[in-house]
Chains A and B, each alone.
Chain A
Amino acid sequence: MERSPIAALQAEDGRPVDFEEFAAQRLPSLIRYATMLAGSRELAEDVVQDALVKAHAKWARIAAMDRPDLYVKQIVTNEFLSWRRRRRISTVALQPDIEPRGGDRPPSHDQTSADRAALWAELARLPRQQRAVLVLRFYEGLTDKEIAIVLDCSPGTVRGYGSRALAALRIELADWRDGGEEDR
């Protein structure tokens, strides 16, 4: 089988990673990521657990990769993208079920809160690939190249998804690259 393009990226430390160790370390970030994708914590937990089961089955191969973290993120993303397709053909939009956290953030003005709630709802209505690009860029801080690896498409396609998503949300960004780090 052809080697994953992820293997072309630089290794962080190069040592083999134990699955349990990896899962314990990465679970919080994977759950946070999947929750942003799915708009639902319950679904996110299910998606991540299913993804880790798949990762476990192939762990010998994944651990040998330079960036197992990105590959597992790719599995999580694919689980999310294929979630309903595997269960039934559906055109129902995502229904976000998590409330804004507030928490340690300073109180917002009512209008700002309403705007953010509207933006969250609009995010939920985006096509899943587009939403994934926004989450990977603006939440995860990945570069176009890294996003392309996670979504298994070209950086140009990433920019296409991203620009369409930003247009749908009426977010002004002169240069898509301004939204994250420069490509490495």
Chain B
Amino acid sequence: MTRSRGPRDPAELRGVFADHEVRDVDVTGLLAGVRDRIQRRRARRRTAGILAAGVATALVAAVPIVVSSIPDDDHSTTADSGTSTGSTEPTVLSLPTDGTADFDPTSTFSVGELPSDYVVEYSRNEPGVQTRIYLAPDDEQKQVVITYFDPELSGLPAPLTAPDPQTVGELEVFPMTLDTAGSEQYGLAWQPEPDRWVTVTSTGSDEPARQELLDLIPSIDVGAQELLSFPIQAGYIPEGFGLLAAYRDVQADPDEGQLRTNLVLVDQLAGQPPGGTLSIFVENDPQEPTTGARAPTTTVSGNPARYGVDPDGNQCFTVYQVEGMSYLVCASSELVGRFAEDDLRRIAAGIVVIPGAATDPSVWTDQPLP
């Protein structure tokens, strides 16, 4: 901004802060919100659901996932049974063969051996964008974020890049101009093909972060899509509904919960845009649902459960304490009239958590839908 006046005095800065100081803080309400988040850990579900709903586009109709039926003799825990049985061989997932397969919600780009000891924190697939976040062990503040996206399909802006690209293999890699320029964050971007971008960002000071990312780039292959695995399976999905977006999260800190996953579905027969999402969310939840918004109103096979409509009109059915997990099924407000409590109950009762999935991602399945 161009200004005509001279240099400012530091007192002006203090004055501006004083001008904008918040005085009326609702401590009781905010504390209630904190308690609610602690108990329910629903913040990530909301974010995932809202994001997915917000980006539901014409792409949906081009994601015709065809999955064969879920094993019915499976060694798993469900809200319905709460018991374990035997398992069968996973069935084959049919993927679309057109260009949109790059952004299929059940597959993601391949990343080979990482140069340092990073572990994947979460993977998220939304229409036109795939994201993985890697977390540095023993340094919870340090992350490497890899994003593969199509700006038009995803609605994300193309990255701002600086000139002077560097060649890595056959790639022309540009430094990113981040809005945190001058801070300890660094990013690189390249185009694997026209209209597609890959960005990698890392926390850390420029030179180490730059070198770390340059070392990482050869292991990223967006052309080699691999099936994404999930810690859950859904036993029942309403006819016509298919996967729009998916998210799964592994937390190394047991205090944070060890798994969290969200499947976002839309009615693929509803036309474009489809309007409304059906969300299936599962997470570790050791808290007992005794009071307030978590208070059970019913049961599912002996497990406490709750049905309700939130102030935004979203219908949600929750089953608590299924082997230490909470299952949540929500139909967004746009789907009002499509589902009754019993429909959501049936979906929730059919959710299956793979045995051992909370501690061992190797047992996860690439067959999340029936």
Contacts and interface: CB of A to CB of B under 8 A. Distances in A.
Interface of A: 1, 20, 23-24, 27-28, 31-32, 35-36, 41, 44-45, 48-50, 52-54, 56-58, 78, 81-82, 85-93, 96, 98, 100-103, 105, 115-116, 118-123, 127-130, 134-135, 138-139, 152-153, 157, 161, 164, 169-173, 178-179
Given A23-B34, A24-B27, A31-B30, A89 B156 contact: yes
Interface in B30-67: 30-31, 33-34, 37-38, 41, 43, 47, 51
B13 A58 contact: no
A161 B8 CA distance: 18
B178 interface: yes
B292 to A, nearest CB: 16
A110 B106 CA distance: 58
Among B20, B41, B51, find the residue whose CB has the most chain A CB atoms closer than 10 A: B20
A128 B179 contact: yes
Nearest to A31: B25
Given A91-B159, A129-B184, A139-B14, 17 more contacts: A1-B138, A27-B27, A27-B31, A53-B43, A57-B255, A82-B143, A87-B51, A118-B1, A119-B8, A119-B12, A128-B180, A138-B10, A138-B13, A138-B14, A169-B13, A171-B10, A171-B12
Contacts of A123: 16
A53 B20 CA distance: 26
B163 interface: no
Contacts of A153: 184
Nearest to A122: B1
B23 interface: yes
B239 interface: no
A156 to B, nearest CB: 12
Contacts of B19: 100-102, 105, 116, 120
Contacts of B16: 116, 119-120, 123
Contacts of B21: 32, 35-36, 101
A169 B8 contact: yes
A96 B133 CA distance: 28
Contacts of A91: 157, 159-160, 177-179
A88 B159 CA distance: 11
A181 B197 CA distance: 46
5 contacts: A27-B30, A45-B30, A81-B183, A88-B156, A89-B199
Interface in B146-180: 147, 156-157, 159-160, 177-180
B9 interface: yes
Nearest to A119: B16
Nearest to B50: A87
A56 B31 CA distance: 12
A24 B23 CA distance: 15
A135 to B, nearest CB: 7
A89 B159 contact: yes
B17 A36 contact: yes
Given A50-B43, A115-B12, A138-B13, A170 B30 contact: no
Contacts of A54: 256
Given A1-B138, A53-B37, A81-B183, A32 B8 contact: no
Contacts of B201: 85, 89
A88 B16 CA distance: 30
